[in-house]
Structure 1
């Protein structure tokens, strides 16, 4: 969803309007795809709305629509225990030496945590911001452990208040952050799975074609035709 300036509707309002339309028009033949519902408002409101929507879809007596519900609210993992037809899945990653490798494989079970800071680093976020984000995250995790808050705890909102209160004790950011042990994480080389195996003849052939290709002399039509040709080689 995106905002609708002509109607004075925020992104969240548009999202809620579209979601309401889905929920009010369910049928046995419905296939419902929902992505990050509730992200445009406060954490408490977002989790509460997303939780209630999942329960409504699961318990609807008139239409049990097949649903794919993607979310970063780990608290929703508990719904698999409360709702017999709910199944949790996560996209697998591999962590090594402070680096994250996205495997793009769907596996059973809920995710234990997100990798937003790693993605921010990969996107080129300034190192000082990444280091500070890691510092704040570790502080929040310590506070959560001390208060006994878990990501699937149904009393999360109450316990989370105590975590937020602990931010008062968070060390203040300095104007010029000193090098930290986590600097290696922020400066770690970017890695990702290759589309080809080492020594793949297709890769070698594509490399040869690209090396002799002069993109500055191609017309738009020629570029599209060349792209189609390269696509046929994969």
Structure 2
């Protein structure tokens, strides 16, 4: 198949709008914290592990997730904070599995340091659980081959890139990001699809991620 061959199906670019909602749940100790983690909505797990990436996407690598920050800075459990911050989110394809790893990490720490379960946050330092609510919207952009795809990548918003790379894979529980899925199944270029899938998007800013994907696609159509 030619590198600029017409795809079996076009790639349709979407974007997202997102709102943040309070869940009304909070915690002031590790024991209460892990109890809430077992029952909060999946959108809350997603929000607190991706908020820094969304709000501070110009920073690379991204700052620690909300859970790690609260445990370390408010409760003073530096070791646990480091363990939570070191969880490699790219290794998880579902929120459920990510939730289980976070809970397991905290419970293991409590088993090793039972005194940590008796410490409470100061007044006003409670962890307030929020959740992300996303609205997915179609854009006017449609690509029928890799050339059009690369040109469109230069024009779309970072919200669109974020949706197709992060939300589609983790929140919608697809096995890979939307770009790689289309390039492999519709274009038939497995090598390029794997090259994009192997990128760790959590160590890039969204603009750097855009440039990197454009570079990879560009090499294929020269």
More helix by share: 2
Q: Structure with the greater relative contact order (CA < 8 A, sep ≥ 6): 1 or 2?
A: 2
Tell me the TM-score normalized by structure 1.
Answer: 0.21
Tell me the TM-score normalized by structure 2.
Answer: 0.21
